[in-house]
């Protein structure tokens, strides 16, 4: 059995886990999962993440406001996040960023929230988990301005964008998408990313890798993602898991 699995981006507060959350989270360590980092989308999921991470020694939490949640967020959110950050299990600000995928987005508001949370992360000396969809230029402009420590999650950009992200000192994380037959763009990016900048995630319950595509994902499926990385990098699956686990520990200051 494989071990040293670090799922650096999971959403176990989602309704998809309501029926068996406790059973699943209680079983993951027996499946080789060493660490899980819960990603937040709003103030409420930030609180829920902390509650879950306080229950399980191997689970850690991020806090933050996702770009798709900015319209429903109150003006005092930064103060609320800073208070939530006063917990040993909080290791990152995220997921934060820019998302122009859905109609009706407010780019100015998204960019304001993104920049404010980048500044909060610097103030708190925490890394960031960055979400970027259909907004590469605007996202990269703010990252180049503030140069945060952190990771670009669920990376779907070009190899050229990957190089720009790495030039800022940031890491890049891939989901089960790299196992899909139509994942040529992601594979091209993976090929230029050195192992010391690479992390793995499920983004569960979404993005389940082959052969589970379309089903609910969970952290044990990192193995299937690692197998694809191992194939591309010409090393063993366990080496991929060991390296990416260490990368995650270093970025999120987990000892």
Average the pLDDT over 33-43 and give the result. 98
The yes-or-no verdict on residue 117 having pLDDT over 90 is: yes
Nearest to 223 by CA among 215, 211, 205: 211
The sheet that has 59-63: what strands, in order across it?
5-10, 33-38, 59-63, 90-99, 128-133, 150-152, 171-174, 198-200
Domain holding 36, by residue range, is: 5-251
pLDDT value of position 35: 98
The yes-or-no verdict on residue 104 having pLDDT over 90 is: no
C-alpha separations of 36 from 55, 173, 221 in Å: 13, 14, 12
User: What is the C-alpha to C-alpha distance for residues 48 and 150, in angstroms, rounded to an integer?
Assistant: 22
Side-chain-side CA neighbours of 168 within 13 Å: the count stands at 23
Q: Are 115 and 139 in contact (CB under 8 A)?
A: no
163-185 per-position pLDDT tens digit: 999 999 999 999 999 999 989 99
Task: Say if residue 23 is exposed, middle or buried (CB neighbours under 10 Å; 0-12, 13-18, 19+).
Answer: exposed
Nearest to 46 by CA among 129, 108, 156, 112: 129
The yes-or-no verdict on residue 142 having pLDDT over 90 is: yes
Total count of domains within the chain = 1
Token duo for residue 95 = 């997921």
70-92 per-position pLDDT tens digit: 999 999 999 999 999 999 999 99
Task: Say if residue 31 is exposed, middle or buried (CB neighbours under 10 Å; 0-12, 13-18, 19+).
Answer: middle
Token duo for residue 176 = 């089960």
44-70 per-position pLDDT tens digit: 999 999 999 999 999 999 999 999 999
Residues 6+ apart with CB under 8 A from 119: 146
Q: What is the pTM of this model?
A: 0.97
* CATH number of the domain bearing residue 188: 3.20.20.140
Phi then psi dihedrals of residue 90, to 5 deg: -85, 115
Nearest to 99 by CA among 119, 71, 128, 61: 71
pLDDT value of position 232: 96
Look-up: residue for tokens 């079983």? 27
Q: How many other CB atoms are there within 10 angstroms of residue 227's CB atom?
A: 17
Token duo for residue 103 = 């109609």
């Amino acid at each position: 059995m494989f071990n040293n699995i670090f799922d650096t981006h999971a959403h176990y507060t989602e309704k998809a886990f309501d029926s068996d959350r406790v059973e699943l989270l209680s079983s993951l360590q027996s499946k080789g999962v060493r660490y899980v980092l819960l990603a937040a989308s709003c103030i409420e999921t930030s609180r829920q993440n902390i509650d879950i991470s306080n229950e399980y020694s191997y689970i850690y939490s991020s806090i933050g406001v996702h770009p798709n949640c900015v319209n429903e967020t109150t003006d005092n959110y930064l103060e609320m996040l800073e208070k939530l950050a006063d917990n040993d299990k909080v290791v990152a600000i995220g997921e934060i960023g820019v998302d122009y995928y859905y109609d009706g987005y407010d780019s100015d508001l998204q960019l304001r929230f993104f920049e404010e949370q980048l500044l909060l992360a610097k103030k708190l000396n925490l890394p960031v988990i960055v979400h970027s969809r259909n907004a590469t230029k605007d996202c990269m402009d703010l990252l180049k301005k503030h140069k945060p420590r952190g990771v670009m999650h669920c990376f779907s950009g070009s190899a050229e964008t990957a190089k720009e992200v790495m030039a800022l000192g940031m890491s890049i994380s891939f989901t089960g998408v790299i196992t899909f037959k139509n994942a040529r763009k992601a594979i091209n990016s993976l090929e230029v990313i050195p192992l010391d900048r690479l992390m793995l995630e499920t983004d569960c319950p979404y993005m389940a890798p082959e052969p589970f595509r379309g089903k609910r994902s969970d952290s044990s499926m990192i193995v299937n993602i690692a197998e694809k990385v191992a194939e591309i990098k010409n090393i063993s699956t366990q080496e991929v898991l060991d390296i990416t686990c260490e990368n995650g520990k270093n970025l999120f200051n987990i000892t």
